[in-house]
Structure 1
Amino acid sequence: MAPRIPPAADVNPVVRIGQGALVGRIEAGVAGFKGVPYAAPPVGPLRWRAPQPPAGWPGLRDAATVGPICVQPPAGGDPGVGPLPMSEDCLTLNVWTPDAGDGPLPVMVWIHGGALISGSGTAALYDGTALARRGVVVVTINYRLGRLGVFAHPALSAEAGGGGLVGNYGLADMIAGLEWVRDNIAVFGGDPANVTVFGESAGGAAILRLMIAGPARGLFHRAVVQSGLGRDVGTPVFAGRDGRPSLEARGVAFADSLGLAGATAAQLRAVPTGRLLSPPPSFYGGDLLVLDGHDGHGLIDADVEPAFAAGRQAAVPLIIGSNSDEFGDIRPEDMSPWRELDAAMTGPERQALHAAYGGADGYRAGVVSDLAFNEPARRLARLHARAGHPTWLYRFDVVAAAMPGARAGAPHGSERPYVFDNLSAAPWPVGERDRRVATAMAGYWTGFAATGDPNGDQRPVWPEYRATPGQLLMFGNDGPAAAPVPFVERLDLIEALYARIH
């Protein structure tokens, strides 16, 4: 039984982990410990290496403030990016725990989104206080981004040898963070045998990869995937695919652009941080989703959908879903790989899809959201349920009354302040309707973390997908309600298209 954190507001809570003692702060009945190193700073000779154990410290370490965000381009208004400063020395995490709770409590570990090039676990949007007050321990982490998180080059591969980590450093950071949780979370009142990973966008895509990564097996026991793609195709580190360059070849081209043809590993590690940001790597162009498995080594050796189809995913309860208007402002000709899918359609396929969307304009406005998020979420829910694992599918369709612009539904990322019940951090004004949805959504998520089933506490019943295939929970402006999966004709046509192409 972990020691209880002192409840008095004027007493700063102290916990002792393997690295040393931490001094946190209590706010709104929750103790927070911020900026805690979970791995050694990945700088100098540790740039582009597997995360290493963190050093300890003597005496008391103040854990009142978050650490630097990882190196990334300017925020551009995304509320999922935390405050500056920015540094390569960024592998820290933050913990929120009820200050008077009896352990062991369920643990929820958040993996932020941002296309693997931006974001952090330090944003006010991801403050864990409101969730922790529901009786869970919340952890948010930073992980390496952009070319510091995903990069390969023959010089680095030679240095790593046949069994070393190559290319997939950001995902390795997430695994290191989960190992830290396993080893340390009990002193915060958390249960290392009841860990839920949850994440959005690139964070959701990362969780799907954690579900098929051997080194992550057993480090979490439930998973929540919010808008996590699922049909994406990874780039192999060493061998090209479909005539496209490998991750190593992409790394060589980037080094050459810096005037470093034939560079050594030491020369690559000496490149100033700012030069790694431009031109930015492309999430959708194949620079950041990587297949690093080779000869029995590495983290990921298959794409997510085929791995789920083969039953290779972690046998854990899963919540998965998407938003109703994810990429409503993106057209199929705007962005790869959906531009390629659009171009690969036969005449009859295109005609049928146009009809399902009510015409060419409806198709162009809605097909990317379905190709990227809505159909893949349904597909993975089906596969996970088929493998015999508890599965719940959702659709988020809440549009705040004050959200700017005319929207056909809920845009990408708009569910995050509701999940965290942090509506004060939403980028638009909210009202009572939004507060009701946030209360319900945070309740489902924390209930799932506690028991492996989101139902209970008089919430509307969320049908489990194995028992009721074709049913999901719709989070709408009037609250959550069970409903049939919407627009099944569109999704069926897209599923058939994927089956023919792949």
Structure 2
Amino acid sequence: MTFVGAFATLALMAGQVDTQQHAEARLSQGVLAGRVEDTVASYRNIPYAAPPVGPLRWRPPQPPTAWTGRRDATAYGAICIQPPANGDPGVGPPPMSEDCLNLNVWTTQQTGARAPVMVWIHGGALINGSGTAALYEGDDLARRGVVVVTLNYRLGRLGFFDHPALAAERPAEEAAGNYGVMDVIAALEWVKANIAAFGGDPANVTVFGESAGGVLVNRLMISPKARGLFHKAVVQSGLGRELQIPLDRKGPGGSPSARERGQAWGAAAGLTTAEALRAAPPETFLGPAPSFANGDLNLIDGVVVPDRVEAVFRAGGQAPVPYVIGTNSAEFWWIKPTDRSGYGLIDDDMTWLERAEAVQAYGGIQGFDAQVVTDLVFTEPARNLARLHAAAGHPTYLYRFDVTSTAGPEPHNGASHAVERPYVFGNLGILPYPVEERDRRASEAMMGYWTAFARSGDPDGPGRPAWPRVTGNDQRIMTFGNEGPFVAPAPFSARLDILQRFRERGRP
């Protein structure tokens, strides 16, 4: 039974707010007891799937069970199994557990409302992060008339993994490998069946995510299993040409399949049977850490994720929904093309002629070293997906985030990876430097555009520069800069054209 079918009989009643600052929502699963702060009702730690433990480890998510009485929904639930956060503000507080498939809702809506819904998918290279971080609290967005949902999904090898022993025991028709993607789809099915209880419109759902969360939004865009569960999409720094590995076939250049990688890891860990894999403590699967850049977690399973993202977009097979995509101006400023990492190796296939042309376009080797990894990983792939989506006839909007602070701890020649997140949520207090008018102006603009887009599929609104659609190859781009948002021709087109030719030429 699908999640939609499992919840089709829910008797959904809108959340009710009383003067004692308590909130209540009634689902057929049970009653949720949330809380109200400054007009916003929030409900936390709502299970959207059964705990993926024991025999459900590496199985598609199953429907959650009901509860009796009033379930306390005032505190966050556990985050998924992951390495230490090391100060990342995109990771919520402990505890950490495999029983982590929970979501959170913020709303200002009353009985009978049909407000737009915004479902956030966190980043973290598919190995860390959570929907429970203070950075992602949805109060400010909810005050703009949307219902906000954040969620957890399985991470690392617990969320993106296969092994011959697991393949041998599962039904032939069962989807495999991309369990984290399946979790997000299950959460969207929960939203479709339940969000009316919080004043949300299940027929007007926007998915938005950053970094690995943006990657997952793109996977939803191409997944047949997600079709119809969302109606608009926003991709923030979501790559677009990342290395993706087939589940049971060799990868590019004859590299091992995902299943072969899983088998090699299991052999090294002394886990060779399905029983041993499922019995091992979850922390076992954290080391050695899988690599996003090397494709360890980017799986093509043929069912949930049918092919490479770029290939499906090029064939016009993506979801026909309005689409915002963009990047930051200096995403990976600290990674040089000479670095011996998965990202630093991306340019290694360049011929000397290609490299010479690119270096010239960047104004010399210093500019090339400073910016080419950002452009290869983020800027050019985002431009490419925007062009392909627009060419398919769908509303498409491209942006660039370039808000910087001289008080910031990083170099000031651009906005680094993930720094736009607090601006989108209005949670500027998380910034590691004093908030200035520049920051408030940028946040106000981004929240305005994002919520307008969620409402209608068009980000424009009164008091803001009109954001033009992408049309052809000469698109204009919305830039969020220190002086406010402005529209101009997409910058650096010549060097991006060179990188596009390099990425799309045939390989030996």
Q: TM-score range by the shorter chain?
A: over 0.9
Does 2:394 correspond to 1:385? Answer: no
Task: Provide structure 1 residue ranges, at least 5 long, that are not aligned to the other structure.
Answer: none
Tell me which residue corresponds to 1:124. 134
CA shift for structure 1 position 338: 4.2
Tell me which residue corresponds to 1:273. 282
State whether residues 387 and 472 of structure 2, in contact with CA within 8 Å, keep that contact through their aligned partners in structure 1.
no
In 1, the alpha carbon distance for the partners of 2:409 and 2:111 equals 40
- Taking only aligned residues, the RMSD between alpha carbons, in angstroms, comes to 1.5
Q: 1:12 aligns with which of 15, 19, 22?
A: 22
- 1:174 partner SS: helix
Once the two structures are superposed, residues 370-414 of structure 1 have per-residue CA deviations (whole angstroms, 9 ceiling, x without a partner) of: 000000111111000000000000000001342113232000000
Tell me which residue corresponds to 1:70. 80
CA shift for structure 1 position 435: 0.8
The code of the aligned residue for 2:325 comes to I
- 2:234 partner SS: strand
Once the two structures are superposed, residues 48-81 of structure 1 have per-residue CA deviations (whole angstroms, 9 ceiling, x without a partner) of: 1110000100111010011011000000111000
State whether residues 322 and 457 of structure 2, in contact with CA within 8 Å, keep that contact through their aligned partners in structure 1.
yes
Tell me which residue corresponds to 1:396. 401
CA shift for structure 1 position 336: 4.7
In 1, the alpha carbon distance for the partners of 2:57 and 2:473 equals 48
CA shift for structure 1 position 457: 2.4
In 1, the alpha carbon distance for the partners of 2:285 and 2:14 equals 45
The code of the aligned residue for 1:74 comes to P
Tell me which residue corresponds to 1:92. 102
Q: 2:414 aligns with which of 405, 409, 416?
A: 409
CA shift for structure 1 position 341: 3.5
In 2, the alpha carbon distance for the partners of 1:468 and 1:306 equals 19
State whether residues 79 and 427 of structure 1, in contact with CA within 8 Å, keep that contact through their aligned partners in structure 2.
no
State whether residues 316 and 390 of structure 1, in contact with CA within 8 Å, keep that contact through their aligned partners in structure 2.
yes
The code of the aligned residue for 1:164 comes to E
The code of the aligned residue for 1:49 comes to R
- 2:459 partner SS: coil
Tell me which residue corresponds to 2:7. none
Alignment of 1:39-438 (within 5 A): 39-100=49-110, 103-241=113-251, 242-260=253-271, 263-293=272-302, 298-334=303-339, 336-438=341-443
In 2, the alpha carbon distance for the partners of 1:6 and 1:182 equals 20
In 2, the alpha carbon distance for the partners of 1:426 and 1:341 equals 31
In 1, the alpha carbon distance for the partners of 2:410 and 2:172 equals 52
State whether residues 19 and 55 of structure 1, in contact with CA within 8 Å, keep that contact through their aligned partners in structure 2.
yes
- 1:156 partner SS: helix
The code of the aligned residue for 1:197 comes to V
In 1, the alpha carbon distance for the partners of 2:142 and 2:431 equals 19
CA shift in 2, pair 1:95/1:335, >3 Å:
farther
State whether residues 47 and 64 of structure 2, in contact with CA within 8 Å, keep that contact through their aligned partners in structure 1.
yes
In 1, the alpha carbon distance for the partners of 2:19 and 2:349 equals 62
Range that drifts further, 337-346 or 128-137:
337-346
CA shift in 2, pair 1:443/1:256, >3 Å:
same
CA shift for structure 1 position 272: 1.3
Does 2:485 correspond to 1:480? Answer: yes
Once the two structures are superposed, residues 108-136 of structure 1 have per-residue CA deviations (whole angstroms, 9 ceiling, x without a partner) of: 00000000000000000000000000000
CA shift for structure 1 position 100: 4.6
TM-score w.r.t. structure 2 length? 0.95
Range that drifts further, 235-244 or 32-41:
235-244
CA shift for structure 1 position 333: 2.6
In 1, the alpha carbon distance for the partners of 2:350 and 2:392 equals 31
Does 2:33 correspond to 1:33? Answer: no
The code of the aligned residue for 1:248 comes to R
State whether residues 12 and 26 of structure 2, in contact with CA within 8 Å, keep that contact through their aligned partners in structure 1.
no
State whether residues 29 and 99 of structure 1, in contact with CA within 8 Å, keep that contact through their aligned partners in structure 2.
no
State whether residues 236 and 246 of structure 1, in contact with CA within 8 Å, keep that contact through their aligned partners in structure 2.
yes
CA shift for structure 1 position 467: 7.8
Tell me which residue corresponds to 2:6. none
Task: Provide structure 2 residue ranges, at least 5 long, that are not aligned to the other structure.
Answer: 1-10
Once the two structures are superposed, residues 190-211 of structure 1 have per-residue CA deviations (whole angstroms, 9 ceiling, x without a partner) of: 0000000000000001100100
In 1, the alpha carbon distance for the partners of 2:218 and 2:454 equals 17
Indicate the percent of aligned positions where both proteins have the same amino acid.
Answer: 57
State whether residues 26 and 99 of structure 1, in contact with CA within 8 Å, keep that contact through their aligned partners in structure 2.
no
Range that drifts further, 102-111 or 135-144:
102-111
In 2, the alpha carbon distance for the partners of 1:468 and 1:239 equals 35
CA shift in 2, pair 1:36/1:335, >3 Å:
farther
CA shift for structure 1 position 342: 1.8
In 1, the alpha carbon distance for the partners of 2:345 and 2:94 equals 38
CA shift in 2, pair 1:3/1:272, >3 Å:
closer
In 1, the alpha carbon distance for the partners of 2:442 and 2:16 equals 33
In 2, the alpha carbon distance for the partners of 1:157 and 1:417 equals 41
The code of the aligned residue for 1:249 comes to E
In 2, the alpha carbon distance for the partners of 1:238 and 1:467 equals 37
State whether residues 71 and 88 of structure 1, in contact with CA within 8 Å, keep that contact through their aligned partners in structure 2.
yes
In 2, the alpha carbon distance for the partners of 1:383 and 1:178 equals 25
TM-score w.r.t. structure 1 length? 0.96
